[in-house]
Amino acid sequence: MRSWAAMACCAVLVTSGCSFDGINSLPLPGTVGTGADATTYRVQIANVGTLESNSPVMVGDVVVGTVRRMTVDDWTANVDVSVRPGVVVPENAVATVGQTSLLGSMHLALDPPLGENPVGRLTPGATIPVAKTSTYPSTEQTLSSLSVVVNGGGLTHIGDIVHNFNAALDGRQGQIRELLTRMNKVVGLLDGQQDNIIASIAALNRLAGTFAGQREVLTRALDRIPAALDVLDRQRPRITSALTKLGGFSDTASQLINESHGDIVRNLQNLEPTVRALADVGPDLATALSYLPTYPYTQEFIDRGIRGDYMNQFIVFDFTIPRLKSGILLGTRWGEPNATMVPAPGDPWYSTYTRDPLMAPVTPMPTEVATIPPLIDPPAAVAPPALTEGGN
C-alpha cells in the first residue's frame, strides 16, 4: 500500500510540472469539456472576482466547458478555458464573469453582446482580449452599494423633498395648472411642427456638412479677415472723409431738388401728353415692334407658312423715282400721287418700258437724221372787215 501511495504521489508531481496548486487545480470529476479532444481558448480579464479553476463555462446559459489554468500577467488574469468538442463559440463572443448563485458560485459566460446575434465561430486557441471582457457585481458589492444608498445616500432626504415640494405648490395650484396647460399647448405645437423641425435639423446638418467640406476655404477667409480689418482701420480717415463729403453731397442734392421742384413738376406735366399718346399707341407699337424683326412677314405667317429651316423667295425692291413719289415720299414736297409707275419684272409691259428714272437716254442717238423740211412762207394776213354802224 505504501508503494502504491508513493507511485501515485510521483505521478501527481510529474503531471503537475513538479508544482501543486491545491486540489482545485486538478480536473475534478463531473466537470465538462476536460477531455483530450476539448477545444481550448484564452480569456484576458481585468477582475476575475472569486472565479476559480473548475468553474463552469456557459454559452447561452448552458454549461459547455470548464475553467482550467489561471495566471496573472501585468495585472491582467489569463484564464484558459476548455469546452466540449462540437460546441460553437460565436466569433463576436464577449466573456463575462458572473455569479451563478447567492452562495458565491461563479461562472464564465461566452455570449454575443446584448442585442446582437451570434456571428461566425471563434477559432480554437484564440484569445478574447480585455476590451471584450467584463465582470458582474458580486453579492457583496451589491449589498455594500445598497447600504451606502440607504445610510449615507439621499434616500433619507425623500421626506424633506416631498415636504418642500408640497410647500412650494401650496396656494399656487391655479398657476401650476395654467403652466401645465401652456406646456401642453407648447408640446402640442412642437409635435405638430415635427416634420418642419426634422427638416430644419436636416438642413442644418447639410449646412454643417457644407461648412465642413469648405473648412480650408473658411480657414483661409478667417486668416484674411484680420488683415482686411487692419486695412479698414488704416483707411478710417479716408472713409470718414468720404462719408462726410457724401453727407454734403446729399445736402446739396436735397437743396437742388427743393429749388427745382416746380420745374420738375411742370416738365412732368408737359410730358404727360406724350406719355399718354405712347400709352394710346401701346398695342399698335407692340404689334409693330413684333413685326419689325420678321419684316416683310409676320410671325404668324412664318409659323403657319414656313415648314422647315428655310424658304426660297424672290423679292423685288423698287426704288424708282415714280414709286418713291407715289409711296414713301407721298405727303411731302417731293410726293406725286399721279406719278407713272414703273412696271415690275414679270408685268406684261416690263419688256417695252423704256423710261429712265434718272432722265438719261435709254438708246443711243440714231446716226441718220431725217432731213428737215423747208419752211413755208405763211399766208398774207387778211385785214379784218371794217365794222359799220349797226354791224355785228
Residue 49: which of 108, 6, 2, 122 has the closest Cα?
108
What is the rounded distance in angstroms from the CA atom of residue 136 to the CA atom of residue 134? 7
The pLDDT score that the predictor gives to residue 95 is: 92
Contacts of 86 (CB under 8 A, 6+ apart): none
Q: Do residues 269 and 276 touch, judged by C-beta distance below 8 A?
A: no
The pLDDT value recorded for residue 362 is 47
Plot region of 184 (φ>0 → left; ψ -120 to 50 → alpha; else → beta): alpha
3-state secondary structure of 129: coil
Q: What is the pLDDT along the chain (392 residues), one digit of tens a residue?
A: 656 555 655 555 555 444 455 555 566 666 777 888 889 999 999 888 888 888 899 998 889 999 999 999 888 899 999 998 888 999 999 999 988 777 768 889 999 998 889 999 998 999 999 999 988 887 777 777 777 766 665 666 777 788 888 888 888 888 888 989 999 999 999 999 999 999 999 999 999 999 898 888 889 888 989 888 898 899 999 999 999 999 999 999 998 888 888 888 889 899 998 888 888 888 787 777 877 777 777 777 777 777 777 777 777 777 777 778 888 888 888 888 887 776 766 666 666 665 554 544 445 555 665 566 665 555 555 555 544 444 43
Q: Is the peptide bond before 296 cis (omega within 30 degrees of 0)?
A: yes
Output the nine-digit C-alpha cell for 33: 469539456
Grid coordinates representing 153 are: 445616500
Helix axis angle for 215-234 and 236-259, nearest 10°, is 70
pLDDT for the residue numbered 7: 60
pLDDT at res. 376:
59
Cα(152)–Cα(9) distance, integer angstroms = 55
268/6 Cα distance (integer angstroms) = 135
- Sheet of 39-45: strand order equals 127-128, 39-45, 77-83, 62-72, 56-59, 106-111, 94-99, 133-135
Cell numbers for 338, please give them: 399721279
Burial class of residue 216 in the structure, from the number of CB atoms within 10 Å of its CB (0-12 exposed, 13-18 middle, 19+ buried):
exposed
Distance separating alpha carbons of residues 311 and 305, to the nearest angstrom: 9
What is this structure's pTM? Answer: 0.36
Q: Which residues of 307-337 are buried (b: 16+ CB within 10 A; e: fewer)?
A: eeeeeeeeeeeeebbbbbbbeeeeeeeeeee
Q: Return the biggest CA–CA distance within the chain.
A: 217
